[in-house]
Chain A
Amino acid sequence: MAVVNRIYLFSRISITPKILLDPINRVCGGRRFDSTSVSSDGEVSNSSLSTTPIIRRTLACPPEYKRVQQAWVENLNTVEEQKLGLIDLHPDVFGAQPRIDIIHENVEWQTKYRKVRYDHTKTRAEVRGGGRKPWPQKGTGKARHGSIRSPLWRGGGIAHGPRSPQTYFYMLPFYTRVHGLISCLSIKLAQDDLHVVNSLEIPTDDPKYIEDLVENRNWGPSVLLVDEIDIMPRNITAATDSILHINLMPVYGLNVFSMLKHDTLVLTMAAVNRIEEKLLYQLNRPDFMDVTKKFMLNQNG
């Protein structure tokens, strides 16, 4: 696929094409687990291990000096968890520095940027009347006034009131958003809230199946299931339709707010590939200046 042809170059690490051409089963340094081993619970029948192939995953551009992250691949077609393999995850996406402040900025942005206020008040110019000076400047014992609709007056205009429609749109810098996503994914993995499944196929469209599954595996009450494209299998769509806290999402909808709102994040293998491909590209693209230029403030000429 196109990913293999790109040469990813991180600013501090240089990767030559020799590494891309190395055989697939080169050993990454510092790995604690052998990726070919699959440990299973005692209750799971051995017949499942002998018939289904062990799921592996090799990184297209493995990092030279960082330890890879790893995650079990589980199944969704039984209530009990069955481990189908152990896959490698790129540390730049799933093992990035967990920046809580960047995550907060992203959450703040997501809540504010589409906010529109519709409340409205009239200024002294818009309130009906008030063109004439109510009484002469001097002579009457009264205070001096120019208009009956000034903000000082009852029934007068509002000086600094809300003006409809008031928008709070702003764009967070591009790489703040990218780092928000990688921080969030890394935190989910570190706190055992990230699960990878082979696919979203389930045997029934009964909501109880999903509830039993989530209960059995100790997944958080709210679950976000992410697949690559927005067309999901029929059974899972029907089953989760009535459950408001278990939601389906395509990769293009992945965002920091949703990942924090839902306790557990479940990604399919296809979604993991797509997310990694997209985020690694954004982290290593050579024309990043052209992308960030759009969101720079105070550009003079």
Chain B
Amino acid sequence: MSFSGKKGVDKAFAMLRTLPRVCLANVRRNPGTRIKPTRGRAQHGGDKHGAGNKGSGQRQNYMRLGYETGNNPFYLRFTYEPYYKGHHLRREYPPLSLLQLQKMIDTDRLDISQPLDLSVICNTGLYKIDPHHKHFGIQLTDEGANIFKAKVNIEVQWASEPVIAAIERNGGVITTAYFDVHSLWAIINPEGFFKKGEAIPRRMVPPQDAIEYYTNPVNRGYLADPEKISWERLVLAQKYGYQLPVLENDPDYAMLTQRKDPRQIFLGLEPGWVVNLRDRCILKPTDEQLKEFYRS
């Protein structure tokens, strides 16, 4: 046969060259996929139609679900099951490992010549956040910390000590920042937010139970004192035993030290601005009261 040595698509095309032209009359489903629509009649699913004889089964007069013919049923025995109590107040941070981050950078899904934040990572399509499920941002995990090689300026929402060490060891900068729900909807889908035509909101301060985390320089919080952060960078380098690269000597110093204002959602855009994608322009408020409000 002329297509005996061929494999895959080549074999298929070689076969097609000898077969009649594919047309409307000779296309069909794969064998076994067509379920013939049959009605239940007589011996073919008919007669009593699977309902049995007499009783609640045939008469469709069932007991309610969970009823145990009089005794205290299982679903009523336990009056207090506080498994989800306060679940609406708990924040979740879906994990993103350093391994995944490195892979995204290596396969050019992410451009490390610009700062990375939640919007950039969501735009790759490989990582998703759903605020409906109480997701509040990226949690960078330490899987792949030993092989992480990229020098990045990254802003996440939660990071542990080994992760911070892995990033700073390569000369990068990591910041942990909080986004409230309204800002979160804006940042995870910037194009969708701009299309709404709403003014960019101010980012709100973290709630009581998160303030301590984001003001702590150990976590590189965005509300922490930058001088204390520099001190903690040194401390961490000594703890993990690597030479802390000097950022000032880095050619990408300007990009690496780029940081958002605590009230800013998008880099380069201020609260109060309206981005017009159709006419490709930005509308800024002119009223002094509005400007003062958005600057506060």
- By a beta-carbon cutoff of 8 Å, the part of chain A in contact with chain B is 7, 9, 14, 16-17, 91, 95-98, 100-101, 103-105, 107, 186-187, 190-193, 220, 257, 260-261, 263, 285-289
Closest 9 CB pairs of A and B: A286-B125, A190-B13, A104-B27, A101-B30, A190-B16, A287-B125, A14-B107, A260-B24, A103-B27
Of residues 13 through 31 on chain B, the ones whose CB sits less than 8 Å from some CB of chain A are 13, 16-17, 21-24, 27-30
Contact of B108 among A17, A191, A220, A263 (CB under 8 A): A17
The number of residue pairs between A and B whose CB atoms lie closer than 8 Å in the complex comes to: 69
When C-beta atoms are compared, the residue in chain B nearest to A264 turns out to be: B21
Residues from chain A with a CB closer than 8 A to the CB of B126 are: 286
Q: Which residues of A contact B125 (CB under 8 A)?
A: 285-289
In the complex, chain B residues 126-145 whose Cβ is within 8 Å of any chain A Cβ: 126, 128
Q: Which residue of A lies closest to B20 (CB)?
A: A191
Known contacts A9-B107, A16-B108, A286-B124; is-contact A191 B22 (Cβ 8 Å): yes
Q: Give Cα A52–Cα B91 distance, bound, in whole angstroms.
A: 68
**B50 proximal to A (CB < 8 A):** no
- Contacting A at CB under 8 A, from B22-59, are 22-24, 27-30, 33
Report how far A16 CA is from B128 CA in the complex, Å: 24
Cβ of B128: which chain A residues have Cβ within 8 Å of it?
A: 289
Q: Are A263 and B21 neighbours in the complex by a CB distance under 8 Å?
A: yes
CB atoms of B24 and A257 under 8 A apart: yes
Residues of chain B with a CB closer than 8 A to A285's CB: 125
B9 to chain A, nearest CB (A): 5
Q: A101-B28, A101-B30, A288-B125 are in contact. Are A96 and B107 (CB under 8 A)?
A: no
What are 24 A-B contacts defined by CB distance under 8 Å? A9-B108, A16-B108, A91-B9, A97-B9, A98-B13, A98-B22, A100-B27, A100-B28, A101-B29, A105-B29, A186-B9, A186-B13, A190-B12, A190-B13, A191-B16, A191-B17, A192-B17, A193-B21, A220-B21, A260-B22, A263-B23, A286-B109, A286-B123, A288-B125
Q: Given known contacts A104-B28, A192-B17, A286-B123, what 12 new A-B pairs fall within 8 Å (CB)?
A: A9-B108, A97-B8, A98-B22, A101-B30, A190-B16, A190-B17, A193-B21, A260-B23, A261-B23, A285-B125, A286-B126, A289-B128
Q: Which residue of the partner chain, among A7, A261, A287, contacts B24 with CB atoms under 8 Å?
A: A261
Give B18's nearest chain A residue, CB to CB: A191
Chain B residue contacts of A191, Cβ below 8 A: 16-17, 21-22
Partner of B12, one of A17, A91, A98: A98
For the complex formed, measure the closest distance between the CB of B29 and the CB atoms of chain A, giving whole angstroms. Answer: 5
Interface residues of B (CB under 8 A from A): 8-9, 12-13, 16-17, 21-24, 27-30, 33, 107-109, 123-126, 128
**B interface: dominant SS:** loop
Residue pair B124, A96 in contact (C-beta under 8 Å): no
Assembly CA distance A261 to B30 (angstroms): 21
Closest to A106 in B: B27
The answer to whether A187 and B109 have CB atoms under 8 Å apart is no
Instruction: Kindly list chain A residues whose C-beta atoms are within 8 Å of the C-beta of B124.
Output: 286
Residues of chain A contacted by B21 (CB below 8 angstroms): 191, 193, 220, 263
Q: Which residues of B contact A14 (CB under 8 A)?
A: 107
Contact with A101, one of B8, B33, B108, B123 (Cβ below 8 angstroms): B33
* Alpha-carbon separation in the docked complex, A182 to B289 (Å): 58
* Nearest B residue to A14, CB-CB: B107
Are B27 and A260 in touch, CB under 8 angstroms? yes
In the bound assembly, the distance between CA atoms of A261 and B124 in angstroms comes to 40
Q: Which residues of the partner chain A approach B23 to less than 8 Å between Cβ atoms?
A: 260-261, 263
Hey, which chain B residues are within 8 Å of A260, CB to CB? 22-24, 27
Shortest Cβ distance from residue B107 to the other chain A in the assembled complex, whole angstroms? 5
Q: Which residues on A sit within 8 Å (CB–CB) of B33?
A: 101
Give every chain A residue within 8 A of B24 (Cβ-Cβ): 107, 257, 260-261
Bound Cα distance A107, B29 (Å): 11
Assembled-state Cα–Cα distance A107/B28 (Å): 10
- Shortest Cβ distance from B49 into chain A, in angstroms? 15
Whether the pair B12, A97 counts as a contact (CB closer than 8 A) is: yes
In angstroms, Cα B22 to Cα A288, docked, is 30
Residue ID in chain B nearest A103 by CB atoms: B27
